[in-house]
Amino acid sequence: MTAHAMLSASSSYRWLHCPPSARLNAKVRDEASPYALEGSAAHELAEYKLKSALGMKADDPTENLSYYSKEMDDAATFYADHIMESLEGIKQTTADPIVLIEQRLDFSDIVPEGFGTADCIIIADDTLYLWDFKYGTGVLVEAERNPQLMLYGLAASLLFDGIYDYDEVKMTIFQPRRDNISSFTLPKEELYLWAEETVKPIATLAFEGKGDFAAGSWCQFCKVKATCAERASANLELAKYEFARPPLLTDEEIESVLGKLDELSAWAKDIKDYALTAAKSGKKWAGFKLVEGRSNRKYSDEAKVAETVKQAGFDPYEKKVLGITAMTQLLGRKQFSDLLGDLVIKPQGKPTLVPESDKRPEMTNIFDDFKEETIHD
């Protein structure tokens, strides 16, 4: 299994905001989740697909991948095709670009023991291009000001700046199962400035277990988030608003609460999950007990059920068209698009209140729409 640095690039969003969390997380044993193992398998397959597309020698890992699926194969192919298309575009201005796959990167001069791996790097005449392949679907990952990408871009520049002459670094998140290809470009000098003025001093504090705790969206993947006192304090401060009916709050107070409700809900869930896990291991919580939850009836033997119903003269099966995800897995992304692209629609989504930083366009006010319809009538 690949080793992980305490101050890894992938966890940098957390430790850059909450330096002492690094040491606390390092004390908790890593347990590879099925999602992490699936992601590793997807990376291995994507590496093989890209090397094959480039004409490089590579062993097909498919037979040895425990989490292999048609969807994974399709995503890896999509990734390889995207890199090859990008390479062709780069060749329009650079005769012989350098292509590096699974490039080991070291940024320990800035972050103690800091290292990582870039999925793909292409070095052109004026730009260093870097890709990070994300197979997960749980969180939409944006490239803009993404500290993991920026640390990879920094490390690549530290490695190649004296060898190749380029001015900027273009960093891309490739997240195929979210149809997300997100890019962010920075002058390399700005990366160096960010490293010296922001990253280096915070990384020093984090490595020593110093600095101030801080709660925020970066807590999501923290291993100690359920029992963190700072996070509890921040959320309990917000929870006091529960004792006032919304009409009694000022607009400013409601706006303040709206921006923190998702974090409050996530914290409450983390506490409940932690307490339940401990209870199942024998922990007794004062005032609480472990009981059997509700369950739904299910067949003990579906094959026998089907046969019994058939013998009674009935059809036990319902026939329905596969959903879009299942159909895409069946046909493959390209064939699905070719055959069914014109038959797929996306209905308007249910109105949702989000922060202004959300990239989705603002809806026309529903109340204004109603007023306009009334006037026309």
pLDDT beyond 80 at 368: no
Kindly state the tokens that stand for 71.
Answer: 């969807």
pLDDT beyond 80 at 247: no
Contact 30, 16 (CB under 8 A): no
Q: How far apart are CA 55 and CA 51, in angstroms?
A: 6
Greater confidence (333 vs 341) lies with 341
pLDDT beyond 70 at 242: no
Task: Using DSSP bridges, classify how beta strands 115-123 and 98-106 pair: parallel, antiparallel or unpaired.
Answer: antiparallel
Q: How confident is the model at residue 347 (pLDDT cuts 50, 70, 90)?
A: confident
pLDDT beyond 80 at 367: no
Contact 155, 105 (CB under 8 A): yes
Residue 21 is inside which H or E element, if any? helix 21-26
The domain 12-207 having CATH identifier 3.90.320: the answer here is yes
pLDDT at 365: 62
4-39 as b/e, with b when 16 or more CB fall inside 10 Å? Answer: ebbbbbebbbbbbbbbbbbbbbeeeeeeeeeeeebb
Greater confidence (154 vs 270) lies with 154
Give the domain ranges of the chain: 12-207, 225-280, 307-343
- Cα dihedral sign, 239-242-243-244: positive
Least trusted range by pLDDT, from 14-18, 296-300, 305-309:
296-300
pLDDT beyond 70 at 374: no
Q: Which amino acid type is present at position 14?
A: R
Q: What is the mean pLDDT of residues 204-227?
A: 92
Q: How confident is the model at residue 376 (pLDDT cuts 50, 70, 90)?
A: low
Q: How far apart are CA 171 and CA 149, in angstroms?
A: 6
240: phi then psi, degrees, rounded to nearest 5: -60, -25
pLDDT beyond 80 at 32: no
